Amino acid sequence: NAGVTQTPKFQVLKTGQSMTLQCAQDMNHNSMYWYRQDPGMGLRLIYYSASEGTTDKGEVPNGYNVSRLNKREFSLRLESAAPSQTSVYFCASSESYRGTNGYTFGSGTRLTVV
């Protein structure tokens, strides 16, 4: 019962480096999301994919890009990492983009940019 799998779990980057966070779900969900979690800020939506083949910006998209590779996989790329991108990143999925059956979250990627 994997649910939503995120890799890696931890990462340290130097300023200016790039990396891709991977996310895969095995629940045949249509919609997938990337959030970042910062103390006192809650969860803020970076990008989402309402269905396979579509992606849209969320609240805080600057500095990020995404790819909905297929129905299962949704990756988040940092092209040139900055210290402000130090955060915990969560991927989530849901049956529909409205999420009224709940979102299933992965266990997160803790990213530190030095």
Which residues lie near another protein (CB under 8 A)? Answer: 4, 33, 35, 40-45, 48, 58, 90, 92, 97-100, 102-103, 105-108
Greatest extent of the chain over all pairs of C-alpha atoms, in Å: 39
* Closest CB to another protein among residues 44, 72: 44
Q: How far is the CB of 80 from another protein (least distance, A)?
A: 27
CB of 81 to another protein, least distance (A): 22
C-beta closer to another protein: residue 17 or 105: 105
The answer to whether 105 and 88 have CB atoms below 8 angstroms apart is: no
Of 21, 31, 39, the closest CA to residue 58 belongs to 31
Nearest to 66 by CA among 23, 97, 99: 23
